[in-house]
Amino acid sequence: MEFLHTSNNPSLPIDSIRVNWYYRPKDIQRKVTDTRVLFASMHSDSCPLAAVRGKCFISHRSEVKDVDEYRKQRDSFYFEKMFDRYIHRYYDVIPTTMVRNVPERVRKVLVERWKYLLVEPQRAKELCSQMKECKRCSGYCATYEILKKKTLLFILGLFSSSLFCRF
């Protein structure tokens, strides 16, 4: 949310607000029984202040400790997914603090710079699982890198352990 000044001049009063769009499931042809579920989007608009009817509270599902209690609160909603309205695809939204299966320096940068990460649905579980380590050097090793290393070792059969971990 961002408050906008008249003619983008900070000395003039605020006359509009930029807001992010969230979709209700029925707006994007999804059937969900929970009326408090929303889908995030990358879309935002500036609206005149006179068009604002009130405020609501939107949290990520991971930030909601007790869903039943949260649903009892007035104007409170939560989201777990993002809907791209241009290509009609859904993405999982995961907090960067939950990401584990990346090198530590990458995780540190993610947490410092962003609050959430948008990923394809199949990738969220892998990114949030325990970090995969190379059995030879104990460094980070993604799933496809493990396959690549094993394939090269099998085909060539010539690598020493010091050369093997450089790939």
The Cα angle at residue 27 between residues 26 and 32, in degrees rounded to 5: 25
CA–CA dist 157, 136 (Å, integer): 15
Partner residues linked to 94 by β-bridges? 117
Q: What is the pLDDT of residues 37-50, one digit of tens each?
A: 999 998 888 989 88
- The DSSP secondary-structure symbol of 139 reads S
Instruction: Supply the pLDDT for residue 105.
Output: 86
Residue 145 and residue 134: Cα distance in Å, rounded? 9
Domain ranges of the chain: 2-132, 133-167
116-144 per-position pLDDT tens digit? 988 888 788 777 877 776 666 666 666 55
Model's pTM, two decimal places?
0.71
CB atoms within 10 A of CB 65: 7
C-alpha closest to that of 73 among 59, 52, 60, 57: 57
**Residue range 64-78: average pLDDT?**
92
Q: What is the pLDDT of residues 3-50, one digit of tens each?
A: 888 888 888 888 899 988 999 999 898 888 888 999 999 888 898 988
CATH hierarchy code of domain 2-132: 2.30.30.490
CA distance 161 to 167: 11
Predicted confidence (pLDDT) at residue 158 exceeds the cutoff of 50 = no
Burial category of 39 from C-beta neighbours within 10 Å (exposed 0-12, middle 13-18, buried 19 and up): buried
Q: Which residue has the higher pLDDT, 152 or 99?
A: 99
Could you tell me which residue, 84 or 155, shows the higher pLDDT? 84
Hey, what are 164's tokens? 């093997």
